[in-house]
Amino acid sequence: MKKIAIIGAGISGLSTAFTIERLAGEAGLDVEVTVFEREERTGGKIWSIKEEGYLCEWGPNGFLDSKPMTLELCDQIGIRDQLERSNDNARKRFIYSGGILNRLPENGPMFLQSKLISWPGKIRLAQEFIKPKRTDGVDETLADFARRRLGAEALDKLIGPMVSGIFAGNPETMSLKSCFPRIHELEQEYGGLLRAMILLAKKKKAEVKAGKQVASAAGPGGVLTSFVGGIQELTDGTVRGLKGEVRTGQAVAGLKKIDGGWELRLADGSNFDADVVVSAAPAHVLKELTWSVDGELSELLGGIPYAPMNVICFGYEQEKVARDLDGFGYLIPKKEGCNILGTLWDSSIFPQRAPEGHVMLRSMMGGATTPEAIDLSDAEVKERTMAELKKIMGIEAEPDFVRIFRHQRAIPQYVVGHAERLIAIDERLENHPGLILTGNSFFGIGLNDCVNAAYKAGDQVLSSLQGTA
């Protein structure tokens, strides 16, 4: 029997463990998978907290159904029938600019009528048609790409807020190729983004005629999907689907090469031997674990930065919020000088997130552009969030429900040079057979990305086992 150790019981570690068991079963291999998690619960940053009738997501609130990975996992663990798709409100997204909430346009006429981008900005945006594509292979920042192709105003009011909303990141440092590889591909394939949008819009029309539900052009592809009980149902269901053991409250303190495999030194002083180790731990944790094994690998891992984040959940009686909450929520350009990055109207996206007659708003504060916000007291976080909701949404009332979640290292930042760093990490790993890395520090931060990376890690484990069988 081959022993596999997984470090980390977030979605990456759990889906990797499940994939290994499934693939090994199909291949007729006898394996024993053990998952080690330092916290007393599974799920990692996925945690659906239910209090006073509200459902607050500590971390991500769902995944997009435009890619098959997570849906396939739901099928395999038998929970696809429990999925909850966001309602049509999720199509309507807003940017706060010029003192008002501007709806992101979904088509050409809406774009021309929108006040979000000025007419000079619209003319500059239209010039994207004649801008030559970049062919020198430089790892360009998102900000440089946006200024080059779309103009400074589009960077400030469209690209910047999108980057803060997805990555809590700074477009001046983030890598286009690593953060949005598809956008880079569209420029290379079609010569420009507007040309690509026109051709892809024709494809989208065909999909709509075929009865497929797709998101608006203003939002990411696919429909935001979760569960009535929160996204934690995904990790809980994966745990139930495992045959192996999940050891919570048991941290891995170090790794050591031994004949034929690896030794895990556990925080309680005991050891665990494994033929293969898969780390789904954050890069900064893995840095410490690998220091005694490979100092250069450890330094490479430690060079992946993280952005801090405060997540603020406010619950109100419906009558205290005069504004129509028919939408997904809004993001805020940095130039507006606000204390928050944006606010999601969670109970409009998924109605079960608040008791009947109530609404729940979830605001984000901090990120790579204002990391100091993580050090604010709870009282200061609440006060600043209330002030922004009053200014932007006209909410005068004190919230009836408040929960503040703090993430010292919320989201890994794929800064310029990230792709080269991954190549260097792979080169170091060639010296350490049986050590495999996965997780959102490397290959994408979304749930779909994590599950897809877990599938690839499972294939690597199977190849390793078959090579030593």
Strands 83-85 and 271-274: unpaired
Contact of 328 with 345, CB cutoff 8 Å: yes
Beta bridge partners of 51: 54
Where would I find the beta strands (DSSP E) of 216-341?
A: 224-227, 245-248, 252-258, 261-266, 271-274, 276-279, 306-317, 329-331
Mean pLDDT over the full length of the chain: 93
Task: State pLDDT tens for residues 411-421.
Answer: 999 999 999 99
pLDDT, one tens digit per residue, over 11-25 is 999 999 999 999 999
For 255: left if phi > 0, alpha if psi spans -120 to 50, otherwise beta; the answer is beta
When pLDDT is averaged across residues 176-181 and rounded to a whole number, the result is 94
Least confident of 135-139, 200-204, 375-379: 200-204
**Cα 219 to Cα 68, 72, 106, 107, 330, distances in angstroms:** 18, 23, 9, 12, 12
With 70 as the cut, is the pLDDT of residue 217 above it?
Answer: no
**Domains, the chain:** 2-41+234-304+414-468 (3.50.50.60), 113-212 (1.10.3110.10), 306-412 (3.90.660.20)
Q: How far is CA 28 from CA 24, 263, 457, in A?
A: 6, 26, 18
Q: List pLDDT tens digits, range 125-175.
A: 999 999 999 989 899 999 999 999 999 999 999 999 999 999 999 999 999
Lowest mean pLDDT segment, chosen from 36-40, 280-284, 323-327, 373-377: 323-327
First to last CA, the chain: 10
**Would you state the pLDDT for residue 210?**
60
| 462 φ/ψ angles, rounded to the nearest 5 degrees | -60, -45
> What global pTM score does this model have?
0.92
What is the tens place of the pLDDT at every residue in 455-465?
Answer: 999 999 999 88
387-398, pLDDT tens digit by residue? 999 999 999 999
Residue with token string 């991954």: 422
User: 226 — alpha (psi -120 to 50), left (phi > 0) or beta?
Assistant: beta
**Residue 219 pLDDT greater than 70, yes or no:** no
User: What single DSSP character describes residue 157?
Assistant: I
The DSSP code sequence of 119-151 is: HHHHHHHHGGGGSPPP-S----BHHHHHHHHT-
Q: What percent of the chain has pLDDT over 70?
A: 96
